Structure 1
Amino acid sequence: MTGKPPEIADDRTAAAVGRERLLARTFVELADTLVTEFDVADFLRTLVEQCVRLMEVSAAGVVLVDSQGRLRMAAASSERAGLLESLAVQAEDGPCIDCLRDARPVRSTDLREDAIRWPRFAAAAAAAGFRAAEAVPMRLRRMVIGSLTLLHTEPVREDADRTALSQALADVATIGLLQHRAIVRGELLTEQLQSALNSRVIIEQAKGVLSARSDDPDMETAFTALRGYARSHHLRLADVSREVADGTADIDAILAYASRSRS
């Protein structure tokens, strides 16, 4: 009679189901950046920790491109991995650097064999106890925002499934980060537009007050006076307008700038 004992088969089935559930939960977590208290650092920490759990690698790290185009070590599952990724960034040497430059997966199944290719990274990795590394780009179409690196304490074989899964996780994380950036920028733009609209209302109110108090009821003259006073005193036009509207401004002093502009 052939076959595995039922208890072994059950254990493997349970492990597979558990991994599938963890994988599904991870994808949901990485895709959900619409929460109010979204924390980028926590998000990236989740990414590297789940990579370690899902792919049974020794450590993982993320390097991102900042707004100035510089590379930054953004997250790591361990202190050793963080130091190694930081060195790679500083030395511009290692799989994560080549991965970012070429926008494709880069791997070393045995870093001892790639000591010439990445001399500083290979030496630092060996000192930290890592023997293999593979990096996948964090990208959306042609935009590459960083790289995800998996680290191993022993040499490994090439594994297409592991590469595909790490790329999928990196892609989902990239979409989540870009979505968050778009929301932040959108909120900032919305605030700026709303502020501009609110200022416009206040300015119109102030123009009305000045026009009513002036010998010249022309609204453009009132605006000229407002702007002239604000510029002369290095004040925001909206702030001067607000003082006019709430009655705390020196109206005569402001109106004097209307006559100055005509002279």
Structure 2
Amino acid sequence: MDAREGPLTRAFVHLIDTLVADYDSIDLCQQLVDDCVELLHASAAGLLLSDNTSLRVLAATSEQTRLMELFQLQADAGPCLDAYRTGARIVVDDLTEQAARWPVFGDRMLREGFRAVYAVPLRLREQRIGALNLFCGQPGALSPADVSVGQALADVATIGILHQRVIARQEIVSEQLQTALNSRIIIEQAKGVLAERGGLDMGQAFTMLRAYARNTNTRLAVLARAIVEGTFDTTALLRASSPGAQR
């Protein structure tokens, strides 16, 4: 635990900053899944967020994971859905023994190479707004303490998201969340444009898009929309993000 004390502290500070400053909700959720993989040594992570009517994929550490989460939603069964619906942590240390718990999604996880899965709800008291999924390639990869850290990070992120809703006028809460979800669609379209023009896979395209947005202090959704609408020169982004342009 000592070896990750510094990174863990930075992760919590970053999340807590959302309570006192404006922030990009998509980037917050992406930071959460990235931090969980880095700190807990999970193989992958994904996050589902509710728009008050259904769950949507808002963040994932890879394109493979994003598709896995979408498949879970299509199957209407899986650890993330259970965590969201019950408000309890879902701990499966050995998926080979419990894949039948989710007949369709369980088999899909095994085929993708995952052997353990842990899901924690995004909740504050009785209110649940989503769930965080942690996938691992080895059985028993996460200890109870690791899962507790994941839950703590998710709890802080939940408070940040709910805090943003509280300070907004009640009548536009749903509109704000829908805007975030719509922004995610634009980002997916921009990823496709970059992937096609740069000969990249979708994961590489998102990494470049996010890095450029951060380096230029531009919101992800704003940059993505400019790319999709053709008002932004993607050549500049691809050149700036190429290996030869890095120090």
TM-score by length of 2: 0.65
**1:137 Cα shift?**
0.8
**1:186 Cα shift?**
6.8
CA distance in 1 between counterparts of 2:136 and 2:90 reads 14
Residue type of the partner of 2:103? Answer: P
CA distance in 2 between counterparts of 1:83 and 1:163 reads 23
| Among candidates 134, 140, 147, match of residue 131 of structure 2 | 147
CA distance in 2 between counterparts of 1:184 and 1:79 reads 32
| Among candidates 16, 40, 46, match of residue 2 of structure 2 | 16
Residue 213 of structure 1 is matched in structure 2 by: none
Q: Any stretches of 5+ residues in structure 1 without a counterpart? A: 1-14, 190-263
Q: Residue by residue, what CA displacement relative to the aligned partner does 1:107-137 show, whole Å, maximum 9, x if unpaired? A: 2112221222111111111222211101011
CA distance in 1 between counterparts of 2:31 and 2:97 reads 31
Which residues of 2 match residues 112-261 of structure 1 at below 5 A?
A: 112-156=96-140, 159-185=143-169
Which portions of structure 1, spanning 4 or more consecutive aligned residues, are displaced by more than 3 angstroms?
Answer: 186-189
| Among candidates 61, 74, 80, match of residue 90 of structure 1 | 74
Residue type of the partner of 2:11? Answer: T
Tell me: CA distance 1:71–1:187, structure 2 relative to 1, closer, same or farther (3 Å).
Answer: closer
CA distance in 2 between counterparts of 1:58 and 1:156 reads 12
Larger radius of gyration: 1
Residue type of the partner of 1:53? Answer: E
State the secondary structure of the residue aligned to 1:28: helix
**1:65 Cα shift?**
1.1
Tell me: CA distance 1:84–1:188, structure 2 relative to 1, closer, same or farther (3 Å).
Answer: closer
State the secondary structure of the residue aligned to 1:115: helix
CA distance in 1 between counterparts of 2:169 and 2:58 reads 21
Greater length-normalized contact order (CA 8 Å, ≥ 6 residues apart): 2
Residue 109 of structure 1 is matched in structure 2 by: 93
Count of aligned pairs = 172
Residue type of the partner of 2:2? Answer: A
Tell me: CA distance 1:185–1:21, structure 2 relative to 1, closer, same or farther (3 Å).
Answer: farther
CA distance in 1 between counterparts of 2:142 and 2:31 reads 25
- 2:42–2:141: 8 Å Cα contact kept in structure 1? no
State the identity %: 44
**1:53 Cα shift?**
0.7
Note if 1:40 corresponds to 2:25. Answer: yes
Q: Any stretches of 5+ residues in structure 2 without a counterpart? A: 174-247
- 2:84–2:128: 8 Å Cα contact kept in structure 1? yes
State the secondary structure of the residue aligned to 1:32: helix
- 2:42–2:142: 8 Å Cα contact kept in structure 1? no
**1:173 Cα shift?**
0.5
State the secondary structure of the residue aligned to 1:22: helix
Residue 52 of structure 1 is matched in structure 2 by: 37
TM-score by length of 1: 0.61
